[in-house]
A and B are shown apart, each in its own frame.
Chain A
Amino acid sequence: MSLRLHGVSKISNGETHIYPTDLELQKGTMNVLLGPTSSGKTSLMRLMAGLDKPDTGKVFWESEDVTKKRVQDRDIAMVYQQFVNYPSMTVYDNIASPLKLQKKSAAEIDAKVQEMAELLKLTSILDSKPNEISGGQQQRCAMARALAKDVGLVLMDEPLANLDYKLREELRLEIPRLFEASGSIFVYATTEPEEALLLGGNTATLWNGRVTQYGKAMDVYRNPVDETTARVYSDPPMNFVSVQKDGAVVHFPDGQSTKLNDELARLPNGEYRAGFRAHHLEMSDGQSDAIEFAAKLIVTELTGSDTYIHVNAMDERWIGLIPGLHTFEVGEVLKISLNPKNIFFFDKDEQLVASPNHEPEKSGV
């Protein structure tokens, strides 16, 4: 079983929502569509589901062309950002509704509903109406409804975005479990790189209606093919600076330079873009092999255990993630450092030419 998009595109009101896209999703895989708001995640899902017809291209289910097949006749289920349940039905009837429409026997329906309720911890509230239960439970109910159908393709469009932080974490851990139990193709849209990494499986990064890269979550994270993908797959977005490579040395705009390893030294000389993630900026501790910058602080944001610093350095604006809570003065000039082994190099066309040799990741994404 597989879902294959072949050159599908979607234009609506003269605006291109999806540029021609090829994508093949295999049975039993978790596929995360990662991209910022209005990057085309929902549009792409609607094309996969058949809720929209593509303007060009074809959609194949296994080897069958389903481009023109109505959504009612397809083997899919969908979970939305809003909690969509039938308002006047109990949780039990909500989960049972698609099964009833499939004309299953009463015993079969009951067994399936109980199984789903068990899986999603809804057993104690089967007799409640959607407006009597919490947001998290409503979304569980919607998920149970989607999964009860036992379909080949389950689409989840930012299902956790409307939940509070605690519930989000809880459900986030359950989704891979549900996915394993189902054996379907899962497609999961999110704006958060962290979620994409937690769910694992494959990631497709989206930007302005294009799939910039598709592959195993870790591969995409470690080797983003271009600057856009790197930005999308980092939170906060990856920092960049233009550098000049000359032999085995790179020169930064402020005149500093650092030595490159042998592999990088072999790259042709010229201008490159150096990229690095926020948590690789550190407060300078005089390490010999790190590059040190003077950075003027613009904003600090405190989280529970870390500090985000927005700084100006070398005419670029960077965001750094520093462990611990710090109270810096706005306008203060900080000494921050970057280990060259954490730098990604992109060429003038923004394509990746070298990514760092990865050691186990530190905290943050």
Chain B
Amino acid sequence: MEKTVNQRAWLLVLPVLVLVAFSSIIPMMTVVNYSFQDSFGENIFFWVGLEWYQELLRSERLWDALGRQLLFSFIILMIEIPLGILVALSMPKKGISASICLVLMSLPLLIPYNVVGTIWQVFGRADIGLLGRILSDLGISYNYSQNAFDAWVTVIIMDVWHWTSLVALLAYAGLRSIPKPYYQAAMIDQASRWSVFRYIELPKMRGVLMIAILLRFMDSFMIYTEPFVLTGGGPGNATTFLSIDLVKMALGQFDLGPAAAFSLMYFLVILLISYVFYTVMITIDKDEAKQ
């Protein structure tokens, strides 16, 4: 059959092209543009080439923020993944209690980031916050606005409180999809509870856990609102993660050039992680299709 030439197809693609152009391409290219120029007032720009990039890569500021960021994501994963699995394992398997559990578990996920931040910010205050007050009355020194360790603990608790449910729900879905005969077979084999977890539940949850790890990693890697609401990145630079640093640079100091270079590098890192995410997902899909 001969191909019919129909130029009207372009018309149908046009809305998407316009949308993508205005939402991604144009803003992105603006940032690229900034990253190679130095700007002064009244829209005067000078071409500086790779200077901003070189300066950033040499500065300790970026590397410190990246280090903090990686440590934070690592801690988050080490807590949320095992805790989520543990919660999923102890959730009721069916009936009304299972439904109630699922609803309760979903609630934190529905709360906006800055509300979570505010809740814990107030909750932890030593003067009026319930938690802060109780801790100081018990003689435990706790002050997130002055002590870096306390600030870290608070941000981590916020994130764990907010997102462990997600891991738990994913793990729960994985657990529910294991056919009952597996458990019966293990029972007949006289396998211990640990063996059932190690050799049946964990391998069968592999797919969903992979998704949980990658989602939580990506999300915690971009954390902004919680430390911003809590201490604005402080005390000092203690909770200044990549996003916070970027905003400080761009809006606080109005260093548009370095900030643009920063965001492009940040973007490349995220892109790299997304690629890993995608590759892993595809492999898991293939593995599971074979089963």
Contact = CB atoms under 8 A, between A and B. Distances in A.
Given A82-B179, A130-B291, A87 B200 contact: yes
A51 B287 contact: no
Interface string B138-177: 0000000000000000000000000000000000000000
A34 B122 CA distance: 67
Interface stretch (B38-46, B188-196, B228-236): B188-196
Nearest to B179: A82
B189 A98 contact: yes
A49 B184 CA distance: 10
Interface in A117-142: 130-132, 142
Nearest to A88: B203
B185 interface: yes
Chain B, interface size: which category?
Answer: 10 to 19
Q: In terms of DSSP, what is the predominant structure of the interface of chain B?
A: helix
Nearest to A133: B290
B188 A71 contact: yes
Contacts of A97: 189, 191, 199
Contact of B189 (A51, A80, A101, A132): A101
A2 B38 CA distance: 91
A51 B181 contact: no
B185 A80 contact: yes
Contacts of B179: 80, 82, 84
Interface residues of A, number: 25
Nearest to B201: A87
A142 B190 CA distance: 16
Interface string A80-116: 1110101111000000011001100000000000000
Interface of A: 49, 51, 71-72, 76-78, 80-82, 84, 86-89, 97-98, 101-102, 130-132, 142, 145, 149
13 contacts: A49-B188, A51-B188, A72-B188, A76-B188, A80-B184, A82-B179, A82-B181, A84-B182, A86-B203, A87-B200, A88-B199, A97-B191, A97-B199
Complex A-B, nearest 7 residue pairs according to Cβ-Cβ distance, in ascending order: A80-B181, A87-B203, A88-B203, A131-B291, A86-B199, A72-B190, A84-B185
